[in-house]
Structure 1
Amino acid sequence: MLAFILAGGLGTRLSHILKDTPKPMAPIGKKPFLKYIIEALKKQNISNIVLLTGYKSEVIENYFGNGKDFGISISYSREDKPLGTGGAILKAARKYPNEEDFLILNGDTYFDINYSYLESFHKEKKSIFTMALKFKQDLRRYGSVIIDEEYKVKKFIEKGSDHIEGFINGGISIMNKRALSFFKKEGFLSLENDIMEELLSSQRVYGLPFGGKFIDIGIPEDYFLAKRELKKWVGERKIKVAFLDRDGVINEDDGYTYRVEDLRLMNGIIPFLKELKKRKFYFIIITNQAGIGKGYFTENDYKNFQKALINRLKKEGIKILDSFYCPYHTEAIIEKYRRESLLRKPAPGMILMAAEKYPIDLFQSIMIGDRESDRIRLPYLKCYILKGKYSGGDSLKIYSDYKEILGEL
C-alpha cells in the first residue's frame, strides 16, 4: 500500500522554536521527527512513500532524497502554493490512478498502530475512509469522533465541546480512491472542514480505536514531550497482557462485592494465573464498579478491597501490574458518576488507557470475563467469557472453566 505523509504545513505554533525548519523535520535527539514515522512504516513493511511537501520542501528533500539510503522508496508531491490537507492529497492521488487505497499520515503525529490490521479492517468493511482513533480523557485540544458498535463514524464533535472523554482522529487513515469523488473543487481544500462531512453521507466512513503511544507535536509542550520520550517509546519491548475482570473471575461475586471480609478467591483461579504467568502474560484488572455510582459503596471501599485482593494474589505468587475501574453509570444516584462513559465495558476505554500507560501488544493480549459486557469492543482483542451468573444470552462461545480457556490459547 502506498503511503502519503502530509509534510507541507507551516507549523506556526512552533515557528519561534524551529525557526526555518519545517515542522516534520523538528529535531528529536539526532534525527528529525519525520524519520521516526518513516521508520515505523518500514518496520511494518511499508516502503513506498510519497512525501506531500510545501513549506521548506527542499529541507525535507535534501535529508531523505529518494529514500535509498534508508532502505525505502521516497517520492514527492510538492505544493507550489498552500493547498491544505485535502488539496495536497488530491494532487498526490492523481499521480497514482492505479492505486485502490492510500495510507495517509500526518507528518507531525506519531501513533503506534498496526498498519496491516487497519488495512484488513478497511477492506473488510468496504470502507472509503477509515481512521485510526485514539482514546483521550482530555478533549480540550481536539475534536472528537463518534462511532457506533460497528465502528461506523456517526458524527464529528468540534473542539471545545463539553465531552469529557472520547476518540480523536489519530492522524492515520486509509482512503479508497472512491473518496476522491467527494473532493468537489480545485485548489485549497481542508480534509477536515471541506471533505469529511461530505464523506459521512456515504455511510462508508469507519473509525477503529487503537492503543499505543501517541504524540502530536503541534504545540510546544507536546514537542518537548516528544523530545524527552519518543526515543524511549520506540525502543520499548512490547508485553502481552491478560486483562482480567474482577468479580466472578478472580474473586467470588456476591453482587456489588466490596467488603474485605467477603473476599474469597474463585476456585481454580490461582493455578490458571500461574499457567498464564508461565506463558509470559502480565496481569491487569479491568472492572466495572457501578456500585460506586449507585451509592452501595465508596471509591475508598473499592480501593480497600482491591488492595486486599492484590496482596492476597501476591502471597500466591501472582503480581498484578495495574488495575483500572469505572464508577460511572447512566443510572447512578450520585451525580458526578451519572453519565455514559467509554471507560465502562464493553467500551474499550480502560483497555486503551492501559495500552497508553504500558507498552502492551493488544494483538497478543487477551480479556477474560464472566459476562457479555466483558467482550470488549476491539475486534483484535481476543475475549474469553467464563460460564457464570451473568454469562449467556449470546451466540458467541462461553467457556465452562479456566482449563478450557487454556486449551485454546
Structure 2
Amino acid sequence: MTTSTRPAVFFDRDGVLNHDAGYLFEASKFEWMDGAREAVRLVNKAGYFAFVVTNQSGVARGFYQESDVDALHRWMADQLATVGARIDAFEYCPDHPEGVIERYRRDSDRRKPGPGMIIDLMKRFPVAADRSILIGDQQRDVEAARAAGIRGLLFREGNLAAFVREALKLG
C-alpha cells in the first residue's frame, strides 16, 4: 500500500443519505436523513473519500431516465456544498433483469449485491480498502461491501452523523 491511498466511506443513497421515497428522482421529493449532510462533512474532514453507490432500477423500469438521476445527484452535491461537504463521486446502476427498457434489462455486477460500483470506484481512486467502509440500509449493501473486500455496516435509523462518528471512531 502506498502512502497516497486514503480510506473511503461508500454511502448507499436511499434509506441512508435520504429517506427512501421509492423510485426517487425529483429534488422536490428528496428529504435528507437526520445528520446526513453533517455525516458527509465529517467523512471529508477525516480525510476519507466520500462516495455514493446506489441501485437505480427505476431507470430500467421506465419510471425515470439516467438524466434524472444525474440531475438529482447534481442537486445533492449543491445542497452538500452549502454546508461545506462534498461527494467525491456518485455511482449508480440503472440495470435490472426484469426492466421494461430493453437496453437496461440485464444482470449487472454493478447492481448490489454485486460489488461492481465499489470496485470501479476503487480502480478510479486510490482507496485504502482495508480501512474503508460501506454504509447501507439493506443486506444487499453489506453483501456488496464484503464482495468488494471492505467492511459493510447496516444503518437503519437515527442520526447518520452520530453513526458515522462511531463507525470511524471520531471524537
The Cα shift of 1:279 comes to 2.1
The 3 A distance-change label for structure 1 pair 291 and 333 is same
Q: Is the 8 A contact 1:386 1:401 kept in 2?
A: no
Of 15, 21, 26, 1:259 maps to 26
Aligned residue among 83, 86, 90 for 1:319 = 86
Structure 1 runs (4+) deviating above 4 angstroms are: none
Q: Which residue of 2 aligns with 1:40?
A: none
Unaligned runs of 5+ in 2: none
How many pairs does the alignment contain? 165
User: Which of residues 7, 12, 24 in structure 2 aligns to 1:240?
Assistant: 7
> In the TM superposition, what is the alpha-carbon distance from 1:371 to its structure 2 partner?
1.0
With normalisation by structure 2, the TM-score equals: 0.88
Q: What TM-score results when the alignment is normalised by the length of structure 1?
A: 0.38
Residue of structure 1 equivalent to 2:166: 407
Q: Deviations over 1:11-31 (max 9, x none)?
A: xxxxxxxxxxxxxxxxxxxxx
Q: Who is 1:366 aligned against?
A: 133
Instruction: Note the 1:50-199 alignment, pairs <5 A.
Output: none
Provide Cα deviations, 1:53-103, integer angstroms capped at 9, x if missing partner: xxxxxxxxxxxxxxxxxxxxxxxxxxxxxxxxxxxxxxxxxxxxxxxxxxx
1:382 aligns with 2:151: yes
Question: What are the equivalent positions in structure 2 for 1:199-278 lying under 5 Å apart?
Answer: 237-278=4-45
- The root-mean-square deviation of aligned C-alpha atoms, in Å, is 1.9
| Partner secondary structure for residue 374 of structure 1 | helix
Return the offset for 1:405.
Answer: 4.7
Q: Which structure: larger Rg?
A: 1
Within 2, Cα distance between the matches of 1:261 and 1:323? 20
Shift of 1:307: 0.9
Equivalent-residue separation in structure 2 for 1:358 and 1:237 (angstroms): 10
Counting only pairs closer than 5 Å after superposition, residues 256-335 of structure 1 correspond to structure 2 as 256-335=23-102
SS at match of 2:18: coil
**Residue 106 of structure 2 aligns with which residue?**
339
1:348-367 matches, within 5 Å, as: 348-367=115-134
Pair 1:240–1:250, CA change in 2 (3 A): same
Q: Secondary structure at the match of 2:147?
A: coil
Contact 1:236/1:359, CA 8 A, preserved across alignment: no
Which deviations, in whole Å up to 9, do the C-alpha atoms of 1:360-379 show, x marking residues without a partner? 11111110111111112426
1:401 and 1:245 map into 2 onto residues whose CA distance is: 15
SS state at 1:287 partner? strand
Please say if residues 9 and 51 of structure 2, whose CA atoms lie closer than 8 Å, have aligned partners that are also in contact.
Answer: yes
Q: CA deviation at 1:340?
A: 0.7
C-alpha offsets along residues 249-275 of structure 1, whole Å, 9 cap, x if unaligned? 112221000012112211111232232
Same amino acid, percent of matched pairs: 30
Whether the 8 Å CA contact 2:14–2:20 is kept in 1: the answer is yes
| Structure 2 Cα separation of the partners of residues 288 and 339 of structure 1 | 13
Q: Deviations over 1:177-222 (max 9, x none)?
A: xxxxxxxxxxxxxxxxxxxxxxxxxxxxxxxxxxxxxxxxxxxxxx
1:404 Cα offset (Å): 4.1
1:339-359 deviation per Cα after TM superposition (whole angstroms, max 9, x unaligned): 111000111101111111111
Amino acid in structure 2 at the alignment position of 1:344: R
Amino acid at match of 2:106: R
Unaligned runs of 5+ in 1: 1-113, 115-234, 389-399
